[in-house]
Structure 1
Amino acid sequence: MAAYLVFIKEREHDAEAMKVYSPKAGASLQGHAGKPLAAYGAIETLEGPEAKGAVIVEFATMDEARAWYGSEAYQDARKSRFAGADYRVLLIDGLG
């Protein structure tokens, strides 16, 4: 069953750190079956706090999503994301 990692950017406080994060995060998908479905396109907040950006990545299973998120390569990239912006990250199990 598909699983989705959803990254919601709430606020950015260091654009230079985010410039470091983006290529590292993309490269960290090598060797993992993650498929980006949406990344920082036009966004319209219909309810709740305004989102400054969002990314959705599809994986075949929750375990595969966790394996990528916990990978050494992504954990290294994540340090730059933490330095650059505040995010909410959700792991969502897809429908049967």
Structure 2
Amino acid sequence: MSAYVVFTREQTTDAEELAQYAHKAPLAREGRELTPLAFYGQLEVLEGNEIEGAVILRFPDMAAARDWYNSPIYQEALQHRLRGANYRAFIIEGAEETL
């Protein structure tokens, strides 16, 4: 069953660090089955605190999402994201389709 990694950027603290993250993070996608479904597009917060942006990535399953997140390449890029902004990130399993 598909799994989704969701990121919400709540506040940028260092734009240069985020630029380094933006340069390095795509390298972790190479050779992996993932589909960007939303990537910092127009958004409207309906409830809760405002956010600056959001990303949704689809993976084949929870294991593939965890493998990508925990990969050495992504973990190296992640350090720049953590220094560059306050984010929330989580993995959620998709729902089975019903007829």
Bucket of the pairwise TM-score, normalised by the shorter protein:
over 0.9
Partner SS, residue 28 of structure 1: helix
Q: How many residues align?
A: 96
Structure 2 unaligned blocks of 5 or more: none
| Alpha-carbon offset, residue 31 of structure 1 | 1.7
Moved more, 4-13 or 24-33: 24-33
Residue identity matched to 1:17: E
Instruction: Provide the identity percentage.
Output: 46
Structure 1 unaligned blocks of 5 or more: none
TM-score normalised to structure 1 length? 0.97
TM-score normalised to structure 2 length? 0.94
Q: Give deviations 1:45-84, integer Å, cap 9, x for gaps.
A: 0100111100000000000000000000000000000010
Distance in 1 (alpha carbons) for counterparts of 2:17 and 2:57: 21
Q: Give deviations 1:14-67, integer Å, cap 9, x for gaps.
A: 001000001211121112111111111111101001111000000000000000
After the TM superposition, which residues 1-96 of structure 1 pair with which residues of structure 2 at under 5 Å, given as runs? 1-96=1-96
Partner SS, residue 41 of structure 1: coil
Bigger radius of gyration: 2
Moved more, 31-40 or 66-75: 31-40
Residue identity matched to 2:62: M
Aligned-pair Cα RMSD in Å: 0.7
